A and B are shown apart, each in its own frame.
Chain A
Amino acid sequence: MTTDREQFINELTMDVTPVTSANTRQSTLFWLGGAFTFAAILALLTGPYRTGIGHDLMFSIQFLVESLVGLASVILLIYTAFEFAIPSSRSISRRLLLPLLGVSIWVGFYLLGLVHPALEPSMAGKREFCYYETFVFALPIMFAGLIWARKQWPLYPMSTGLLIGLASGFVPALIMQFACMYDPQHILTDHILPGLSVGVVGALLGLVMLRTR
């Protein structure tokens, strides 16, 4: 070992401070808890939830399943995003497969709903600005995710940002499933679409915020 390196290591280790080891599962749980609480409260503050949600969940299996698939997609998206922030030799494309498949299935349910809706399409509970609400509610959640990832060691800034953005966009989109009117076409254009656009914003912000190496 060169003297130069020895000195370098001595300087690095001299004042080493204890650090808390990153735990992606725990962080995912914290983020999910915070994100859903935040979006649910904001949705409640900006308007009432649709009536009869409990009944819809109990008596329409398709509605229950599409809501659960949406939740599973958000969990997969944010967990994968947080895993991307930890150095690992696992293939990026394989790791992207599962969350993106989840999103595709979720969107697929609404496409199916265009011909075979889970509930009778209705204007009941319609919110005037649900498109903007979905987008705006997602932004603070997205920033919280990006800040967490920035504190780790993200090797793929754009993909990590995209996944965080999508997860953040889909949290209020999923809340709107209960807080706004039920019509698959409306859900696709006014809830899912702003969620997807938050994904694009996340990818762009990831390029800026997560290039910290």
Chain B
Amino acid sequence: MISSKQTALWEKDEQRWSALMKQSQAGDASAYNQLLSELGSVIEAYLRANFGPLAILEDCVQESLMALHRARHTYDAKRAFRPWLFTIIHHKTIDVLRRSETINRHISSFAELDQNDIDHVDLDRMIDGERLMANLSQDQREAVTLTKYHGMTTNEAAQLLGIKESAVKARLRRGLKLLQKQWQQEWVES
């Protein structure tokens, strides 16, 4: 239950950030510094609350701050500040996580290739997994990657993607079913 004190605090923050952003848009460096410093902590708290202990937390915070910097001209003081702020953070975090996932995948592929005693069956499976994943739709691939590769719960994945948990479950179910079907089909053919 949100108390009236919390609501008042929430309102106060909203008004202060909006005013600071307006000053920043006019070129006030100290107001802008204060705003980004405050938002840095807000973003960090938001990421911790939604994604848990992220290894790339500081990267996400700084990338989000950079995004806010680039998008600062799109803020309209007549509109609420928080939806604008969290939409940018949300999308930026997804971008950073996707990028980091791609980099990690490449690194682990190379690391496995470097091993002298490489297990060819495992390598085949790894390549096969990526190939099968490529046949999934973008939505299904996201759901499978976030839950099965990153070990997120469906609730966490839903928050990250900004959709309902039931939608993540549906995408995951369809994605896994499709993977299983493809794998079985290829196994029978071979």
Contact = CB atoms under 8 A, between A and B. Distances in A.
A4 B44 CA distance: 14
Contacts of A90: 83
Q: How large is the interface on B (under 10, 10 to 19, 20 to 34, 35 or more residues)?
A: 35 or more
A20 B72 CA distance: 9
A19 B32 contact: no
A88 B84 contact: yes
Contacts of B137: none
Nearest to A15: B29
A89 interface: yes
8 contacts: A4-B58, A5-B61, A5-B62, A6-B37, A12-B36, A16-B29, A87-B71, A89-B86
Interface of B: 24-30, 32-33, 36-37, 40-41, 58, 61-62, 65-67, 69-77, 79, 83-84, 86-88, 91-92, 95
Q: How large is the interface on A (under 10, 10 to 19, 20 to 34, 35 or more residues)?
A: 20 to 34
B67 A21 contact: no
A40 B74 CA distance: 31
A23 interface: yes
A18 B37 contact: no
A213 B40 contact: no
B84 A13 contact: no
Contact of B73 (A15, A22, A155): A22
A12 B58 CA distance: 16
Contact of B36 (A2, A9, A152): A9
